[in-house]
Chain A
């Protein structure tokens, strides 16, 4: 606006109108003047001329009135005729004076009027007055002669009238002259009006043409520019306007608009091109590369990388998936987590960050010839559903403009969606492949099923025929079956009664023996007191009787005890109490007990114990000794001469599955009467001896061996017999050392807890010994556990270890935590159930079986009864993969089992199998 003054459209129009209005005002004033002068002229004609004519006529009339009055009087002599005469003679001079004044502007007319006055005065003076005088004086004849003589004079009134006519005619001529002049003026006015109108029109048109021209020209120029732009779509052109008016404003505003549109268009087209570049890609890596290349190209960045999120929640990390002009030393990060570094912060804050003026030591951008430093950085999050799904970073040698930032913001908006859809597509492709494979498998399976069902149908037809034949036979059989049924029912009833009576018998015997012992006890004590004869009140004979009573009572007690033991065994009431037995004392003890018997019968008695027999042995001491005593008593009883020897040795495991510490072999050998081969089985039956004769000869109840056998079974051992008739017998007892006793329900399959528990520590076999020794060694043992590479199927899974042995838990926990599993532990079944109540996302349970408070079986049963946990995989850790253990495990609901000592690779394999679907 500097320089020429601004001359706007409003000013132009205003001035145009002003000129036109001025012209109009001037012309109206001129016309008005003209019209008012014409008005004056006309008024003059109307007033002056009419008055002149009126006065003229008035005077003429007064003259005529005077003549008429004069003549009337003369004729009639009536004075009343003289009245108008006198009147007129008085008035006419007034009128004359008026008229004279009126025509003062016209001297010729005044002269003529003076002539008329003179004539009137003459007529009055010389005609009228004398005639009237004569009449009055009665001089009628004179009057007549007067008139006769004065005929010429009577012509006086005629002359006056003629003079008046002339005066009037002249006056009319003046009036006409004036009217003509007025007409002429009128014509002039008309003409000048037209001329004025024409001039105003001319000026107005000229102004209109100028003003509109100056407006329209510039507008047209603008329109031409806009049309040109819109026709070729080129928004880079600009409108140029020379005028300093609103159009220029319009043009400038339009130019601004164009600039904005141009930058928008650039943004839009760049966005589109970037989007087009990555369209149709199906893998994240390619997508990332294409995207970053595109965006770097448009933002003139020199290097860039895109990081795409993997994982969810806290574990999400951003992995580099695409680079543009990767740094030569590839110092860029491969991944980062949210909040890690500036780029992590960008992801956390979910906003674009631009860093300018990077320090000189910032990472170089490599070119073929060397390296340059970037000047600025741009980091932008890629959003999808309000989450940062990826982050991109660009580095530029220049600076990033607002447009660049907008471009990045624009493209990232849609890119999030694309990343998500590509990820989903990849997932879909993977699932599709899987489902295709499954479909094929299903097809094959259904094929087989169909085929089978067809085959079945064919078979069923044949079966139907066979059935018909069978039906016939079955009708026949039915009759027999009814009979059999009857018999079976009867038999069952009998069997029941038998079982019942047998149980009654055992129970009766057990009760009876007990009842018998109580009184016998007092007999024994009292008889012993008697035999001691401390009061010296008895004779030696009485003393002997008392001793007999005592020894008989003792025999009876032994017998009752035997019966009691046997019946208890049979009734299943006998319990074994496993405890430490000191083997070093056993030989001397036996020698003490049986030495005198050997001496009495003259037999040699030998007790031999091998050096390698451990001192400590775990069994039920009482029953163990009872067995050995029974065997020895038996040997002594049936041996008349020769020797009885007992040999204790360590033996190899007879039944390895019982898991004993070690086994002992105790042989009792005699040189007695021996047992015939065909009686070998028989002698272990209750109340049996070799034959009837033997009974008579040796006495005894025959209960000893059968009790021994039952005890041996209860202790988990075995009793063998080797004998020839007349050659002596050898009873060999094999017995395990069981620190924890036998499993109640599985008397023949004992379970050695201590050993197996320790052995369960999961390590290589060589490591087991170390673990046994100390806790420190466990730490050392862990180093033996092979640390595998990241195992994705275990990562983050929750495993619950249930075991009462802390060393086991410690070792297992360490191994599983190495696999990045989430390990929780419970010490027993109850603790496990409590834990499961608030840990409902456990993926797998490792369950020890032998635990205090609540064992593994019970725990598994309760877990399985719980609906929500019916599917949770449970791996049972059994001491030894014993058949019965396994079956119990499965019955209790274990998914799989694995035997101790655990092999780590095997444990992992099993866990992989069962963790799969979780």
Chain B
């Protein structure tokens, strides 16, 4: 009986496995589902036509023209490294400086681009704007920026939901992206 024990030759198993491995290596892509999350405003016709007056002091204006040059509150800006702190200061002003925002609820960060602005520049500035808000939220919730964004991705967990609400309390993410102007393109 022992003599007729069937055996499968397994010397070529490694080769077969390598073949499969190569197939998967070639045909697959790593999923990239990460990016800057945004909520678009409701369609133009659904919005009430009433003129909402926003005080000048509650608007933080960022503009980028068709050659990607930056204008912050009317002043040209070359180096963007200080922009995040400017936005944070503006949001958390709470009426201290009469030229800056009344309260975080009323503060609006407005971003206007041109039709000729490149997407790269747009993402760069949007990233800074979101970084300012996430920094503030993370501070309020008592976690780091990275942790806060991880929490925000999974709100089904009640503990995450609690921290998320604590972070966002009283500070809506008021990033307004205006219709682009038509100089370029």
A binds B: no
Chain B residues near A (Cβ < 8 Å): none
Chain A residues near B (Cβ < 8 Å): none
